[in-house]
Amino acid sequence: MLPGASSEKSELYRIMTGMCSTSFDVGSSFLPSDSFDQAFCDSSSESAQRALAALRNHKEAEKRRRERINSHLDKLRSILPCSSKTDKASLLAKVVERVRELKQEAAMMEQTSRKTESYCLIPSESDEVTVYSSSDDGGRLIFKASLCCEDRSDLMPELIGILKSLRLKTLRAEMCTVGGRIRNVLVVAADSEHSIESIHFLQSALKGLVQKSSDTSADRSKRRRMAASAARQLRS
Amino acid sequence: MLPGASSEKSELYRIMTGMCSTSFDVGSSFLPSDSFDQAFCDSSSESAQRALAALRNHKEAEKRRRERINSHLDKLRSILPCSSKTDKASLLAKVVERVRELKQEAAMMEQTSRKTESYCLIPSESDEVTVYSSSDDGGRLIFKASLCCEDRSDLMPELIGILKSLRLKTLRAEMCTVGGRIRNVLVVAADSEHSIESIHFLQSALKGLVQKSSDTSADRSKRRRMAASAARQLRS
DNA sequence: GACCACACGTGAGTC
DNA sequence: TGACTCACGTGTGGT
């Protein structure tokens, strides 16, 4: 039996029949509305019959409405990473988080708009590290970090390591490498442990990364200069 | 008065008091539970009193549950592009669409995984156009297009024009330019007018774009060859 | 008055 | 048992 099915004793029914509700029980089967109407309502006024029909319509409409809502909730359950038995409230909490992420992300992409950057992220000659943070309006904290430096093979692994150690989840990453230099634009989400202060950790970690790159390239230039000078000396 | 507040006549109340429900009306004010208990329940059994308390707890807990759910729905209303008066059902429909978009996007990024591509999208020597489509499981149709060709200044405007004319919404775009060649990876969403067949239009449009690039570069090489040959002739 | 969307209180099921 | 989640039927206000 469906829950709530036995509570089908509307005030209207009781008023119409003048029955004491304690002695009236429709039983556990589905209410046989038509025969009920015949049995009890033939002698009642037509307006009461119409009211009864309206009540039945209302009941069914409400059922349809519930089904509409629940079908959407089921769709969400099937889409999101959650079981089919997560309750409505926590399901909706997950959904809120997801959608917020999307919105924050979009806002961030808009805020630090492409219009102010070269469209295809072409790296500049000078090293750079910039970190923006989204306005934290109750949602998840989102950072957008941009760095530009000499490219080297272990840059990406180290960058990934930094993000992992700071427990930052990468939402988007774009990069462009030209002539040995690389520009990297990251949109990352902080977890709930982070505050807006985390921006400093991220910034200094990225600065360290870029610094190491420039050291390496300085070494390389130094070596190159030494090699050139050695060659000159050998030639002379 | 809140809707439904006057229907506070539980079966338990009626059974306990043995009243005929037609003559019993608690009125429209909030039920004064304590005085009610004193008036009607002092003579009744203790178990009945406990049942009554349980019923009150239940009622309040249920109210809290509803508030929890509705607060999440309100959050969603404030986040999504919709008024504060949109239906629960249509709100949830919008949400489903949004989340589906996210999931499709992520699945697409995973499916055509980076592992099979060079990590930083480095363009290849040969021209390429590939278009994947997401498995359309009722959600929005998503295409992932990758193209690689000679770079030229009007490539981006033309690409944007193609997407606009096909009414494809760009969800993500990544690109990498190296030594005059460009690789472009796009994730785009089709609107409801599109079918899976649209993939062919997109593909041929992109092929046209790449072809034009190679024509231009062929022209350029041709011109360069002609200039070189002319110079040789002049020198001879 | 008909229709719609909502909040409510309640019975039932699950853990 | 109690604490919870859910579906239901209903009263009500808005169009």
Domain shared by A196 and A141, yes or no = yes
What CATH number corresponds to the domain at position B153?
A: 3.30.70.260
Under 8 Å between Cβ of A140 and A190:
yes
Domain shared by A204 and A126, yes or no = yes
Establish if B57 belongs to a structural domain.
Answer: yes
Confidence of residue A127 (pLDDT cuts 50, 70, 90): very high
- The pLDDT score that the predictor gives to residue A207 is 94
Please identify, among A94, A118, A142, the residue that sits at the C-terminal boundary of a domain. A118
Q: How many CB atoms lie within 10 A of CB A97?
A: 14
Q: How far is A229 from chain B (nearest CA, A)?
A: 30
Helix (H, G, I), strand (E, B) or coil at B98: helix
Domain shared by A93 and A142, yes or no = no
**A chain contacts of residue B20, beta-carbon cutoff 8 Å:** 20-22
Confidence of residue B24 (pLDDT cuts 50, 70, 90): very low
- The pLDDT score that the predictor gives to residue B195 is 82
Alpha-carbon distance A143 to A189, whole Å?
6
- The pLDDT score that the predictor gives to residue B5 is 40
What is the distance in angstroms measured between the alpha-carbon CA of B66 and the sugar C1' of D7?
Answer: 14
Decide if pLDDT at B46 tops 80: no
Domain shared by A141 and A184, yes or no = yes
Establish if A228 belongs to a structural domain.
Answer: no
Q: How far is A220 from chain B (nearest CA, A)?
A: 22
Domain shared by B58 and B141, yes or no = no
Domain shared by B163 and B206, yes or no = yes
Residues B176-194, mean pLDDT to the nearest whole number: 79
Number of domains present in the structure of chain A: 2
Establish if A11 belongs to a structural domain.
Answer: no
* Ranges A143-147, A232-236, B37-41, B112-116, most confident: A143-147
Strand D positions closer than 7 A to protein CB: 1-13
- Read off the pLDDT of residues A53-99 as tens digits, 9 standing for 90 and up: 889 999 999 999 999 999 999 999 988 887 778 899 999 999 998 88
Continuous segment of H or E residues that includes residue B59: helix B46-79
Establish if A41 belongs to a structural domain.
Answer: no
Sign (positive or negative) of CA dihedral A172, A176, A180, A183: negative
Domain shared by A209 and A148, yes or no = yes
Please identify, among A98, A118, A138, the residue that sits at the C-terminal boundary of a domain. A118
- Read off the pLDDT of residues A177-209 as tens digits, 9 standing for 90 and up: 666 788 888 888 888 788 888 899 999 999 999
Q: Give this prediction's pTM.
A: 0.58
Domain shared by A80 and A163, yes or no = no
- The pLDDT score that the predictor gives to residue A221 is 57
Q: How many CB atoms lie within 10 A of CB B166?
A: 16
Domain shared by B124 and B205, yes or no = yes
Q: What is the residue range of B79's domain?
A: 52-118
Domain shared by A124 and A206, yes or no = yes
Under 8 Å between Cβ of A130 and A145:
yes
